[in-house]
Amino acid sequence: MPRTVSLKHADLVQLLYHLRLSRAFEERLSVLHRQGKVIGGIFSGIGQEAIMVGACYGLRREDFICPLHRDLGAFLVKGMPPKILMAQVFGRRTGLSKGKDSYLHSGDSRLGIVGSTSMLGSNLPVACGIAYGFRLRRQDHVAVAFFGEGAANVGDVHEAMNFAAVHKLAVVFVCVNNLYAYSTPFEKAFAISGVAARAQAYGFPGVDVYGNDLLRVHGAMQDAIARARRGEGPTLVECKTFRWHGHSEHDKASYRTQEEFLEWKSRDPIPLYERYLNEKGLLTPDVGRRLDKQIEEEIEEAVLFAEESPWPEGPEALEDIYAPADGGADDGQR
């Protein structure tokens, strides 16, 4: 059971801002995708926001996150400006990869964000490498790697967990268990009831939290992060949740029942957290309106910025492919 989180009132409200920003950003993306304005696929994390916000809120700039395809909220909480992220999905030159790809395959080393490859699970060994670097430089920063329960059965994941355990690396492995890997239900891919139980076999703690409860996720993550900073090694935090949309926006998710979908929709992480804030008297109508207005403006500005941004020129595809040979300035984006 995670310890009780003690956060200042301003932080508690800021957490709601991040939940609502992630939701609003992804809802807008869904519409933009249907309008044909977005390049490539969109892998919506709507319904899972409490995990990204709870895990990343409070991380240092120097800490690194290694998110996967559904973890857009993590980019925003780690400090990625919405307009840069929007330009990325529009495939524009002002986006993260300057138009080389779309969606979440790019990161920004200045913000501590590593873009993912398409190979599920390949981000976990990368997180181990980053944490090993922290060890060599005697820094108490942490690396947080996200993966789905589908990715959990890939060999890279096992290798990374074993390596992190043996070397007591400052890594937190966050398994976003949304019960389906594309159309494969959890019970068709696992003979156990959860992924967290595996941690014991590697030799570090595994924690199972309800992923729609922001404060529970944040509490479990704060414990795991503190342990990592103390040099005591990795933790596996499994967060059970459900994705509301299909695997990607073209997928109608007909492999799930309507009852299951409605049941999980009624467990929306945002009203759950809002009820908590209300009970504490922190979510007055004024605060709610101010947050909504701010988010609406930020998203409008982001869409406008993306739409007005230039497309990349062909030869630019060959720029920024390798690290500068002279060790010179690196703008951090890949």
Give the residues lining the site for ligand TPP (CB under 6 A): 70, 118-120, 148-151, 154, 176, 178, 180-182, 247
Burial zone of 300 (CB within 10 Å; 0-12 exposed, 13-18 middle, 19+ buried): exposed
> E strands, the chain, where?
64-66, 143-148, 171-177, 180-181, 184-185, 206-210, 235-240
- Minimum Å gap between C-beta 169 and ligand TPP is 22
Question: Under a CB-based contact definition with an 8 Å cutoff, are residues 112 and 121 in contact?
Answer: no
Q: Could you give the C-alpha distances from 160 to 31, 56, 117, 163, in angstroms and in order? A: 37, 21, 16, 5
Nearer to ligand TPP, 99 or 246 (CB): 246
Nearest residue to ligand TPP, using CB?
Answer: 148
Nearest CA to 144 among 58, 214, 24, 269? 58
> Minimum distance between the CB of residue 248 and ligand TPP, rounded to whole angstroms?
9
Q: Minimal distance in Å, beta carbon 185 to ligand TPP? A: 10
In the complex, what is the shortest distance from the CB of residue 104 to ligand TPP, in angstroms, rounded to a whole number? 12
Please name the residues in contact with 10: beta carbons below 8 A apart, sequence gap of 6 or more.
none
User: Closest CB to ligand TPP among 16 and 46?
Assistant: 46
Closest to ligand TPP by CB, 82 or 148: 148
Q: Which is nearer to ligand TPP, 181 or 303 (CB)?
A: 181
Residue pair 235/227 in contact (Cβ under 8 Å)? The answer is: yes
DSSP secondary structure of 223-269: HHHHHHHTT---EEEEEE---SS-SSTT---TTS-HHHHHHHHTT-H
Measured from the CB atom, the residue of 150 and 219 that comes closer to ligand TPP is 150
Burial of 66 (0-12, 13-18, 19+ CB in 10 A): buried
How many residues are given for the chain?
334
Nearer to ligand TPP, 17 or 186 (CB): 186
Q: Shortest approach of ligand TPP to residue 70 CB, angstroms?
A: 4
Q: Which CB atom, from 70 or from 98, has the smaller least distance to ligand TPP?
A: 70
Provide, rounded to whole angstroms, the least separation between the CB of residue 59 and ligand TPP. Answer: 21
Minimal distance, residue 151 CB to ligand TPP, in Å: 4
